[in-house]
């Protein structure tokens, strides 16, 4: 619905992660800066979530580390909001979450795009450990 750019691609060149503008064309806030769109990774993470992954990630990573990831994500997103914008602004951190972990997909997208997200890193390790990572998975951007 809004403007975006492709920031991570699969080895085949297909879009894997989109970076959304923080506001839709009508000014509506878009809290999800990074969006995971690669189907096989989305499915694998859905399996991980169904196995209790959200609860496990929060427990292993810890709430303070999650909060820091939310803060960094929000700061990156908010820097893109035009200074003259006077309407509602996106809120929350990764995927619009205010605290804790809500969506492993959003954390993984942020991590793949180079974000410092320990939940995304945990997701990656779990996908490998549980043999859920697709063979043609995109590679993380490093800066």
Question: What is the per-residue pLDDT across 34-57, written as a single tens digit (0 to 9) for each?
Answer: 999 999 999 999 999 999 999 999
Give yes or no for residue 143 having a pLDDT over 70.
no
- What does the block give as tokens for 117? 């997200």
Q: What is the mean pLDDT of residues 73-94?
A: 95
Average pLDDT across the chain, whole number: 95
Q: Which residues of 128-141 are buried (b: 16+ CB within 10 A; e: fewer)?
A: eeeebbeeebbebe
The confidence score (pLDDT) of residue 31 equals 86
Question: What is the per-residue pLDDT across 87-126, written as a single tens digit (0 to 9) for each?
Answer: 999 999 999 998 999 999 999 999 999 999 999 999 999 9
Predicted TM-score (pTM) of this structure: 0.95
Report helix, strand or coil for 137.
coil
Query: How does residue 136 score in pLDDT terms, banded at 50, 70 and 90?
Result: confident
Quote the radius of gyration of the chain (alpha carbons, Å).
15
């Amino acid at each position: 619905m809004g403007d975006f750019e492709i920031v991570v691609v699969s080895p085949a060149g297909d879009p894997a992660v989109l970076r959304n503008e923080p506001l839709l064309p009508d000014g509506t806030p878009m809290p999800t800066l990074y969006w995971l769109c690669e189907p096989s990774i989305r499915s694998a993470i859905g399996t991980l979530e169904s196995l209790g992954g959200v609860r496990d990630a929060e427990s292993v990573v810890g709430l303070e580390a999650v909060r820091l990831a939310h803060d960094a994500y929000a700061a990156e997103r908010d820097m893109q909001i035009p200074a003259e914008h006077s309407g509602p602004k996106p809120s929350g951190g990764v995927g619009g979450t205010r605290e804790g972990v809500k969506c492993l997909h959003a954390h993984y997208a942020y991590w793949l795009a180079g974000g410092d997200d320990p939940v995304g890193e945990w997701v990656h390790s779990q996908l490998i450990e549980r043999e859920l990572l697709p063979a043609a998975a995109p590679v993380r951007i490093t800066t």
